[in-house]
Structure 1
Amino acid sequence: MKINISDSASKWFQDEMGLSDGTGVRFYGKVYGKTPVHDGFSLALTRDDHPEEVYTETDKDGVKYFVDEGDEWFFKGYDLTVDFDPKKDPNNVLYSYQENGEL
């Protein structure tokens, strides 16, 4: 699994969550909601500057974006792209999932 963070999403996270060099964001699955790949679950995130059991991670502009091993089930088989386009949704980042053949 790969996590891709666009430049505009990186700036959005920094501005909205007060992130700076050495901080982190954890993505995870939560009950309720819907994604293009899961019914009954939605994508959530939280600031987490001290990851412990990392399944996958990427660094963008000094910020670590990651998924814990316990949330592998939610992302397995997909790469996650995080983008921000104020014309599409001025208040939120946009998430897209790409199949990666990982089983």
Structure 2
Amino acid sequence: MKMSITKPAAKWFIRELNLEEGEAVRFFARYGGFGGVHKGFSLALDKASPHNIGAEITEEGILFFVEDSDLWYFDQMDFHIKYSRKFDEIEYVIE
């Protein structure tokens, strides 16, 4: 799995989560929600320190990562994080 994030998306996270350089954002599978790769699961995120990174990208001094134990959710597809200026929100693309 490859992971990418655009600079505008990273800046959105910094603003919305009050992130400081050196902090990290973890993406993980959670039970429940809509629109996920696997029925009954959706993508969640939190500020967290990594333990066993499966995929990562650093942008604007922030580490964005997925733990090895959550790679199953992406089903060996790539994970792209983008920012929508039109809606001022994050867009996840898993392909």
Q: How does the TM-score come out when normalised to structure 2? A: 0.91
Residues 1:94 and 2:91 aligned together: yes
Partners in 2 of 1:14 and 1:81 — Cα distance?
Answer: 17
User: Which residue is equivalent to 2:61?
Assistant: 62
In structure 2, the residue matched to 1:74 is: 73
How far apart are 1:84 and its partner, in Å?
Answer: 1.0
Indicate conservation of the 8 Å contact 2:5/2:82, yes or no: yes
Q: Which runs of 5+ in 2 are unaligned?
A: none
Whether the 8 Å contact between 1:82 and 1:95 is mirrored in structure 2 is yes
Using the TM superposition, give the Cα deviation of residue 20 of structure 1 relative to its aligned residue in structure 2, in angstroms: 2.1
5+ residue gaps, structure 1: 99-103
Q: Deviations over 1:10-67 (max 9, x none)?
A: 110011111121100000011112335222111100011x211111111111110101
Residue aligning to 2:18: 18
SS of residue in 2 equivalent to 1:55 = strand
Q: Which amino acid aligns with 2:57?
A: T
Does the CA contact (< 8 Å) of 1:36 and 1:97 recur in 2?
A: no
Q: Secondary structure at the match of 2:33?
A: strand
Q: How many residues align?
A: 95
Name the structure 1 match of 2:41. 41
Partner residue, 1:101: none
- Which secondary structure does the structure 2 equivalent of 1:28 belong to? strand
The question of 1:30 aligning with 2:27 is answered: no
SS class of match (2:78): strand
Q: Quote the Cα distance in structure 2 between the aligned partners of 1:82 and 1:57.
A: 12
Q: 2:66 corresponds to which letter in structure 1?
A: V
Provide TM-score, normalisation by structure 1: 0.84
